[in-house]
Amino acid sequence: MNTPVEGFSKLSKAEKIDWIASNFTNNPERTKQLLQQYWNPDKEVQKVHDEFIENTVSNYYLPFAIAPNFLINDKLYAIPMAIEESSVVAAASKAAKFWLDRGGFKTEVIGTEKVGQVHFIFNGDSSKLQAFFTEIKPNFFKSTASITKSMEKRGGGIKDIELRNLSDKIEGYYQLHCGFETKDAMGANFINSCLEQFAATLKTEAFEYAGFNSEEKDIEVVMSILSNYVPNCLVKAEVSCPVNALNEDGIPPKEFAQKLARAVEIAKVESYRAVTHNKGIMNGVDAVILATGNDFRAIEAGVHAYASRNGSYSSLTHAKIENDVFTFWIEVPLALGTVGGLTSLHPLVKLALEILQQPSAEELMEIVAVAGLAQNFAAVRSLVTTGIQKGHMKMHLLNLLNQMGATESEKQQLVQYFKTHAVTNASVKEALEKLQS
């Protein structure tokens, strides 16, 4: 029976591997070999990877790919993507090529404000708290001057601080709701440092405030933390062209445009469809976010909250046909950074940003939004024409053949065969068995 381990974090890397292999795997020697197989041969590079997180025993690789031919605001990009799912890169590339000759993608950064909050409990008169806040508000800025100095030199800093009364939801619950501008940094550490100082200032000033009684002076700070919901850190990306330019094999352009618009409209009103619709968008978004060293979990949480902002979960993309022009667009909140964090540490992240021509945070917002829009266009295009499986399963074919242990010769023959046959698990298995016999 396995027993708990004491001081695991203090063990050497070799000792960690030996413990996990011996206690939790069927073939310890094979486990050790597998983990070491994925180490970077450059010891200095591996040391960088080992220090990203705690208790590292190996590296977990994702494919690093390029989706070419993205024309964004009349500038050509090749977009790095890190993702494991078949057909995502191919679909994005296909959408990029489709729109390349139709004017490309147009983007606009609508806002870049990020948010942090100090959550606290105040047992007293709310009007007195408001008067207190108005009087001491300048002190929040003064107390964080040393923290904000460098950020302000780059054009960032604290945008505003407001007091919010949420005592109708939880007794005595209030918050300092704070807006920040962090320029090219994602800014999490900056924001959290400011918030923790706000909390300290709040408690100190309350204790000294003559207008409070003894109970009111004892403000309880529950927590101080940034929010990953950033509805004012927003970017828009769109494509448009005359309806008659939407030439699709076998479908009249007007009918094709109507099918696309109708599919998007369904995702706007039907949450079951909207979730899968938006997941497809995030295939493109997350792949670029991972490749550029940003936090895809934070983006996912914020994006899905934004998709629910009107009371029900809905499509992030929109489509319309007006005056014989088809327009397809997305508005999405993206709090991204191009300096700090992994952007200066991970070798492939640095390369990804170089490939993207060293974008600012705002430019990266535009690129990521375009990747999401392209992915969604490709998916909806397939759904309303050939169906999603035709293209997806073709791309998934090699994965199936590898799982079934096909040789290189067998793979080559079957790739040719399935260019004209439907790909399913059963059909691939049957064809491989027939070939082998």
pLDDT digits (tens, 9 = 90+) for 219-230: 999 999 999 999
CA dist., res. 392 & res. 379, Å (int): 10
pLDDT of residue 434: 84
Place of tokens 């708990």: 4
Q: What percent of the chain has a predicted confidence (pLDDT) above 70?
A: 97
Whether pTM > 0.85 for this model: the answer is: yes
pLDDT category of residue 388 using cuts at 50, 70 and 90: low
pLDDT per residue as tens digits for the range 358-369: 999 999 999 999
Residues with a known catalytic role: 85, 279, 295, 392
List, in order of start, the domains of the chain with CATH numbers.
8-50 (no CATH), 64-110+234-385 (3.90.770.10), 114-227 (3.30.70.420), 392-436 (no CATH)
Query: What is the average per-residue pLDDT within 393-399?
Result: 68
Q: Helix H segments across 292-334? A: 296-307
| pLDDT given for residue 389 in this prediction | 59
359: left (phi over 0), alpha (psi -120 to 50) or beta: beta
> Is residue 3 scored above 90 in pLDDT?
no
Burial of 41 (0-12, 13-18, 19+ CB in 10 A): exposed
- What value does the mean pLDDT of the chain take? 94
Confidence (pLDDT) at 420: 77
Q: How confident is the model at residue 255 (pLDDT cuts 50, 70, 90)?
A: very high
Task: Say whether pLDDT at 306 is over 60.
Answer: yes
Q: What percent of the chain has pLDDT over 90?
A: 84
- Average the pLDDT over 34-54 and give the result: 94
Q: Give the number of other CB atoms < 10 A from CB of residue 74.
A: 9
Distance CA 397, CA 390 (A): 11
Mean pLDDT, residues 286-303: 97
Question: pLDDT of 101-124, one tens digit each?
Answer: 999 999 999 999 999 999 999 999
Closest CA to 332 of 358, 380, 367, 356: 367
Q: Is the pLDDT of residue 419 over 80?
A: no
- Grade residue 89 by pLDDT with cuts at 50, 70 and 90: very high
pLDDT of residue 1: 55
Distance (Å) of CA 165 to CA 130, 177, 219, 223: 9, 10, 14, 16
pLDDT of residue 427: 85
Check residue 411 and give its pLDDT.
83
Residue 344 has pLDDT above 80, yes or no: yes
| Residue pair 101/170 in contact by the 8 Å Cβ criterion | no
